[in-house]
Chains A and B, each alone.
Chain A
């Protein structure tokens, strides 16, 4: 099917007519039911000329005698008939059972979907490019059941996190990405338009051919290659504007003064707020901070073509996005170029190569930070402070704020105002933004070459060699500034520069032998691969530059004695052998078995190698004679698989105690170099292994117009790799260790309906997944793993045996004391008041350990950031030349930790829900009283009343309208396809969450430093919100 489509695509558009012109009529019917089919496309092959059948299945078309007609309709096999001398051509279309036999990319090959034994979700280029995505990962969002794509924040270029079938490990649960078979660390460099298909290998049997690193699933990305036919050239691009989709409701100036005065809060001079003051300003800091109509654009030109002997695909693309916060201080710019070529040298030798280059320039601001986040400052800055301070008297004489301090000016020389109410890390967010001078530039070259020989029939030997070389340059400079008494920098202005070179070399040799004996098909694969990752970093910094002159911001212009250099190097080696047997009988019963042995230098000699097995089987029951004839049911397949996978994702030499030389002590004669083990040695550390059972069901109804896929899985991850936190008395940080067992159990379903009524074609897809995560065992003495912290409240997530990984952790509450009697009725088992110092309006905490007092030992789990259900739904409709599509995503059953305010800074601004605070007149049951002293620690103790919110949401991710130019017009302008569209992203979000954005991602750490990305999930510190984007775009093919 796909081959035909591709062939069609490359067939020359313009027809040199030399034959006789005539009229053909006919009727198209369903070969099985004999009913006529309306809406069938009847095209003259090799042209875009044609018609569709009418309501009664009839058509009429002007043709030439040497034309070939193609009849195509969704759910049916395309027919081709040469016209010859016929004037009436009636056609019976056969139901397309091949539809389900569409080919899917699996590791080291492809397989018919019909005989797959594993659970693989596939997204093709149409899906990727029809809804233009900013990043490749987004193409998977809402499209594949059980694949949760979580946008980290709205900052341009920020990498979304992908969780396949839940969180598989406490540390880094991102899948392995392979681009055309090359394992890569990031796919930032990929232009979405270059992608032909993406396959997500979800079950262990599918992914285990990548054994060692596949424990969290595998994403296979295949880039476009050329095909035989005329060279085509196409352009696609869009431009758009982005705006903040949502604002947090905060107190205005009047409400702020009222609250601060009521709570006896002091300003920075130690003065109380006067409740009767009439605020001179009412600054909406969010309004000030958000950039309106931040630009986004993308352009791509691609070229492809080929002959029998050689084919190629090439493209260049440019993408640029600025953020809704910070404008060009938060931006992502990408340029890519690619050339893929395939050559058939002779009967037995094929040769292919691909090379791509990407340049990425990135600037960013802290996107989810309690400290020094621009959005966090905007949410906490008081509304009384204006954006600018223009009064020369204040600037000259207010020595505490301005005076001789290096306060910050905007481009026009106007001073950014400094608050006289709030201090700490809460600063004028625009002043802060103006100081962000860092930028990163990455140049990446990916290249690969392969040769494939077929020495005897059915045996293919393939060798490939690839490199992934990148240079990452980081440049930053600092100037003197004074944002307030806490946040300032008065040292000499400095500059820093660094360069990191990373190189991955991958070599693979595979042998595939295919043999068919009667109805028995065998496919045997054996192979080996080696992967060498090396990297080197050099960096330097110095002081004493003039930051006002861009030409002087260079390291060599810094004062010599302040120049410092740094550097490091790493190497990781991996070697693997693998084999696989695929067998199928008559496309009906199939079986697969995989064995892979991996070695990784990340482990000590004791456990360097890991062995991974998997098995799978499937049975297309509907092809069996005995299968009952159920009306409507056209396809029914059962499959099951079991397999193992590994994870070696830890820092190099984590098993060994390396020496820490970054130690010095000064005697009277100056610094002396010291040395001490950096970690406790753990030679026994071994692979993390996940085992997964998968049972699936695939069905088709009504000639497969409706298809349904259902999967149940249970995945157990053992020997979780974890940077262990041990008793301080060990005296040295602990190494990585194997810390426990985690389980993910769930089911997924995907339903797709597509149909055509006349010119109206439509398709509805719905996928949903239920996942339950349990930390079955924590193999340390404590029985838990420490989590992430929030502002100054300390640890607010924790992984505890028997509960979901990284649950929220804090104080459980039981309402609010309404009276002194209630305070004294809250007693321990010995009859003493549990909170003797509480007053009416304070939170009643639950004494979970029953010791009669409220202390940190009472903290407990308060909910989970992991959704019970995730779902996605897409809808597409075509009517004549118009098309419409929509994508809706959602999740249910998770909580969010609302930590956007800084309770430790009493005079910080608050969300408006605080207006419902408890007072004698307002016996609130949801918000405690507000006082600056807060003796009951209502606001500073992380608790379920104020910090834990329902995080469920439904989001209309994308809505798009398109129009394709009519054929007549296309012929005139000599192009085969031209479509224009408008698209709207994040049109609406339905949620109860009070923060800026319910998609609260977690930073993804790929450095192996042990900073767990998982543990930070769902903590909102004022997350950079996602934009609502309006785009207008076009694609045109010549």
Chain B
């Protein structure tokens, strides 16, 4: 009998091996195939899209903050860093001798496509969302389009010849040819025109995109495209020409409520984050602490500010930065006499006097200057986690002053320039000239990541003369004078190489940009 019971139990358990046994679900997370079906879940994917704005590195790759790289490419800053070996990748940017295997190039490329994917993903899920209102759908799609335009613009400005996915792709669909820059610009224009239509004038919370941000970004896109290509912008049928763009800015200036803050010195303080002058701002915070070394894409801090801070010890005002993207002596000289000079460039003498220490370490390509706008102020230091990764300085992506100067450029009206000058107590200019405009842009906006593209869009001749700097070391330079010499590489027209890894992975589908083999 006992034997029979045992046989019976064995037989039952033997037959119990069925498919149901293997059914389980992931713990602590969900499958995306069932998620993203409600308003709040789609909103989370929109937040994830915003999150990429703050990424300053591609997943698992080298640091590539937009601000640091665009400054280093310009004549306003050198690569810097501890020594020639520290940040060799940045130094390649500095010297316009950029290897297609440069990690930073790959990182930049990857970061923007992550943003584009998330925008595409959000739009796709919003479009098919059920149990929602048309208002909700329209708002989410408009914000996602704004963000997609933002990422595509950064990508096309750096790389020129890029691929243009407008929907999430499976790996088998992804290996496609690059499109013409015109196709990318038209897509950007079309997204921004839609965004202007769909975005609110007053965001539910500051930090989210507004109609004004989309208008200002469209102007920036128009000016760059017009300067470099001039083929015009076709936004899905709407001709985005100079008049169209100017009208957007006039609307913005008149109706947005944005204005210049009274005191230029306060623009980059914590008090003015999301302030009246900020048309669009990227937020950085010390919390939540989600990433650390090796997973920096998850952190919320501003890596650019950390990189650009002085290599100082014992200061009462600054904590130790790494002295990347250090301002050039050329910029210092050009700003001589302008009241904005000390608010843009922190000289070593001023730094030491101000911060109560006598200890600052010379860096590679040492000039004795540091950015005064984005730096390692103790007040902006993260309080938990790794301090280097949690600087809390927001990046002012589009300032009202920039909007005024773009309006001046589009209209030829000197009044806009003079409004910017008046704030810092400078005399009004009698008439609009292009030189005056670009000079004002430089004085007003240096150190904010705009200079390089302002130079590029004025044509290759200007680029060559402005970006080639030989023999300007500055009074405090140390080391070999040759390391300060930069020659613009005209064969590349100022664009970056397509990353070698991507070329390899595409097995020949992606073509390298001119000037790089």
Contact = CB atoms under 8 A, between A and B. Distances in A.
A658 interface: yes
Contacts of B263: none
A681 B35 CA distance: 13
B85 interface: yes
A71 B510 CA distance: 80
A576 interface: yes
Interface residues of B, number: 108
A950 B369 CA distance: 49
Contact of B113 (A543, A677, A728): A728
A671 B300 contact: yes
Nearest to B26: A653
A280 interface: no
A486 interface: yes
Nearest to B13: A509
Contact of A601 (B4, B22, B28, B170): B22
A666 B283 contact: yes
A405 B54 CA distance: 32
Given A400-B359, A424-B86, A669-B205, A567 B28 contact: yes
Interface stretch (A131-139, A215-223, A729-737, A963-971): A729-737
A783 B505 CA distance: 8
A484 B21 CA distance: 56
A670 B288 CA distance: 9
A726 B174 contact: yes
A664 B283 contact: no
B19 A731 contact: no
A606 interface: no
A570 B244 CA distance: 56
Interface stretch (B114-122, B218-226, B418-426): B114-122
A864 B10 CA distance: 51
Interface stretch (B102-110, B126-134, B189-197, B464-472): B102-110
Contacts of B110: 728
A21 interface: no
Contact of A728 (B46, B58, B101): B58
B506 interface: yes
B298 A665 contact: no
Interface string A873-912: 0000000000000000000000000000000111000000
Contacts of A269: 362
Contacts of A569: 27-28
Contacts of B84: 906, 932-933
A453 B6 contact: yes
Contacts of B48: 660, 663, 665, 674-676
A702 interface: no
Nearest to A672: B47
Interface string B266-291: 00000001100000000111011110
Interface stretch (B336-344, B346-354, B496-504): B496-504
Most buried by B among A570, A601, A672: A672
A673 B273 CA distance: 21
A404 interface: yes
B103 A794 contact: yes
B3 A453 contact: yes
Contact of B505 (A543, A652, A726): A726
Interface string B11-35: 0011011110111101111111101
B120 A855 contact: no
Interface string A323-366: 00000000000000000000000001100000000000000000
Interface string A706-743: 00000000000000000011111111111000000000
B169 interface: yes
B352 to A, nearest CB: 12
Contact of A400 (B116, B300, B313, B386): B313
A247 interface: no
Contacts of B36: 675
A657 B26 CA distance: 11
A576 B118 contact: no
A126 to B, nearest CB: 37
Contact of A667 (B17, B83, B205): B205
A155 B371 CA distance: 46
A507 B9 CA distance: 13
A664 B100 contact: no
B505 A658 contact: no
Given A674-B47, A728-B106, A783-B507, A599 B19 contact: yes
B506 A782 contact: yes
A270 B41 contact: no
A571 B114 contact: no
Interface in A375-424: 399-400, 403-405, 423-424
Contact of A665 (B283, B384, B387): B283
B399 interface: no
Contacts of A851: 517
B82 A423 contact: yes
Interface in A456-492: 461, 463, 485-486, 490-491
A629 interface: no
B101 A666 contact: no
A49 to B, nearest CB: 47
A296 B53 CA distance: 54
Given A665-B47, A674-B44, A530 B32 contact: no
Given A485-B311, A509-B14, A571-B24, A664 B113 contact: no
Contacts of A573: 21-22, 24
Nearest to B503: A857
A786 interface: yes
A781 interface: yes
A490 B170 CA distance: 45
A668 interface: yes
Given A656-B26, A731-B120, A671 B287 contact: yes
Contacts of B18: 575
Nearest to B273: A668
A280 to B, nearest CB: 24
Nearest to A679: B32
B128 to A, nearest CB: 16
Contact of B32 (A423, A657, A734, A781): A657
A794 B60 CA distance: 13
A245 interface: no
Contact of B507 (A571, A782, A856): A782
B13 A658 contact: no
A727 B47 contact: no
A600 interface: yes
B517 A659 contact: no
Nearest to A730: B174
A90 to B, nearest CB: 51
B161 to A, nearest CB: 13
A507 B13 contact: yes
A203 to B, nearest CB: 27
Contacts of B239: none
23 contacts: A269-B362, A399-B358, A405-B313, A455-B6, A463-B6, A509-B10, A570-B27, A575-B21, A668-B207, A670-B285, A671-B285, A674-B44, A678-B29, A728-B114, A729-B169, A729-B174, A730-B117, A730-B169, A730-B171, A792-B88, A855-B99, A856-B101, A933-B84
Interface of B: 2-4, 6-7, 9-10, 13-14, 16-19, 21-24, 26-33, 35-36, 41, 44-48, 50-51, 53-54, 58-59, 82-86, 88, 99-101, 103, 106, 109-110, 113-118, 120-121, 163, 165, 168-171, 174-175, 205-208, 273-274, 283-285, 287-290, 298, 300, 311, 313-314, 320, 358-359, 361-362, 366, 383-384, 386-387, 478-479, 499-502, 504-507, 509, 517
The 6 A-B residue pairs with the shortest CB-CB distance in the complex, in nearest-first order: A731-B117, A667-B207, A674-B47, A569-B27, A856-B101, A674-B48
Interface of A: 266, 269-270, 348-349, 399-400, 403-405, 423-424, 451, 453, 455, 461, 463, 485-486, 490-491, 507, 509, 511, 526-528, 530, 543, 561-562, 564, 567-577, 599-601, 608, 652-653, 656-678, 680-681, 724-734, 780-784, 786, 792, 794, 851-853, 855-857, 904-906, 932-933, 940
